Amino acid sequence: MAKDFYEILGVKKDSSQEEIKKAYRKLARKWHPDINPGNKDAEQKFKDISAAYDCLGNAEKRKLYDEFGADSLNSGFDAEKAREYKKWGAYEQQGASSRASYGGRSEQDFGKYQSYEDLFGDLFSSRSRAGGAGYDYRGSMASKGRDMEHEMTIDLISALKGFETELAMQKMKPCDLCSGSGMDPKSSMTKCSTCKGSGRLNVADGPINFTRECPKCHGHGSTGKPCPRCSGEGQVYDTERIRVTIPKGVKEGSRVRVAGKGEPGFNGGEPGDLFLLVHIKPHDALRREDDDLFLEVPVTVNEAISGASIPVPTIDGIVNLKIPAASQSGQSLRLKGKGAINLKTGARGDMMVKLVVKVPKSDNEEAKKAARALESYYREDVRKNLKL
């Protein structure tokens, strides 16, 4: 029986997402392999904790898990088809008496559909399955591995410029001793006692003959002694260093796909993909709205009154910005095409430069005299429109 994720994390089913995150962090620190080197039990517990949080830490995955259990974690899982299958099962139970005319199970051919995986997708298999699944030379299903998601936090400038980095990901990989089969390569193979060598089991009675992959032999039709290294799982926990490229213009919540770096497939199936969920740390001076950037730039009283050309930093380097004469504090000027890159269109936004007039911090009498002289040049009361 699959382990309950809520029990693994020690939380209740009505716990908040924040409570789930706190529970995961506490357990992850306790059972991390780096803190428990060589401890296989700790390694397995950390693996279970990570799998539980991968599901319950994501609100959408958690909702499906609450409805369908571990079956919702299968790659390619279709919730709508699963609900239809449940409806079909209920209908079969209600109509049991009406099936008597069939004399039990119908022997009629149902066209190309020979199993419920064909009709509804492999919703309840003990191994995950995705689009593109096929069969290996032994007749067992080759299944694509599950996709993985990893959160990362970067600074705004790095997000705007893009960069390459290397991640150390703790993930499952095919066992190198048994090549992912889960069987001890030194043991002899015998016919599976559960499926009698067919590799498949009947899962429903009725006019349609539904079958599924045998959970004991995983469709091989034969079994042997479990691999001593992976305990029959076909996979082991390991740390992989992955080189990734973060494209220019990623924003808060962007998902960057790294093809083929998810969990390994089964029976020769393709690995899943890794999705990086990007979070952006706020910048002290620069902020982003859509594809435009906003920056406050201090200017002197003279630059504002007389006009000037001043250097302004952008993500492309320093550019000279022309300040019109008689500019006001709070006035915004546009640097066209100096904003963020749109990931979908490749177009650049603009940079909006807000002028902030700075007065000298001085008790010098000459400075005060100059300031008093400026008073005579105001044409009206600067606060005449100030109202509440």
Do residues 350 and 321 touch, judged by C-beta distance below 8 A? Answer: no
The answer to whether position 71 is within a domain reads no
The 10s digit of each residue's pLDDT in 175-231 is 888 877 777 888 888 888 888 888 887 765 555 556 777 877 767 788 778 888 888
Higher pLDDT residue, 131 or 369? 369
CA dihedral over 285, 151, 19, 82, signed as positive or negative: positive
Name the residue among 310, 308, 362, 352 with its Cα closest to residue 330: 352
Same domain, 294 and 328: yes
Q: What's the domain range around 302?
A: 286-373
DSSP annotation of 214 reads -
Residues 269 and 369 in one domain: no
Same domain for 319 and 352? Answer: yes
Q: Are 297 and 366 members of one domain?
A: yes
Sign of the four-CA dihedral 221, 225, 226, 228: negative
Q: Which residue has the tokens 């006019």?
A: 207
Same domain, 262 and 352: no
**31 closest CA partner among 15, 13, 56, 51:** 51
Say if residues 181 and 227 touch (Cβ distance below 8 Å): yes
Q: What are 130-189's pLDDT values in tens digits?
A: 344 444 434 455 678 888 888 899 999 999 999 999 988 777 777 888 877 777 888 888
Report yes or no on 19 lying in a domain. no
Q: Report yes or no on 349 lying in a domain.
A: yes
Residue in the structure block whose two tokens are 């001593």: 228
Whether residues 322 and 307 share a domain: the answer is yes
> Tokens 């506490």 map to which residue?
26
Nearest Cα to Cα of residue 238 among 20, 368, 43: 43
Pairing mode of beta strands 222-223, 190-191 = antiparallel
Which pLDDT belongs to residue 172? 74
Closest CA to 7 of 75, 41, 56: 56
pTM: 0.54
Same domain, 350 and 275: no
At 264-287, the pLDDT tens digits run 776 667 888 999 999 999 999 999
Domain co-membership, 270 together with 295 = no
Sequence-separated (6 or more) residues with CB below 8 Å from residue 62: 55, 56
At 307, list the tokens.
Answer: 């006009």
326 and 347: one domain? yes
Spell out the residues 6+ positions from residue 181 whose beta carbon is closer than 8 angstroms to its own.
227, 234
Domain CATH code at residue 160: 2.60.260.20
The 10s digit of each residue's pLDDT in 4-22 is 899 999 999 999 999 999 9
Total domains in the chain come to: 2
Task: Find out whether 276 and 267 touch, Cβ atoms under 8 Å.
Answer: no
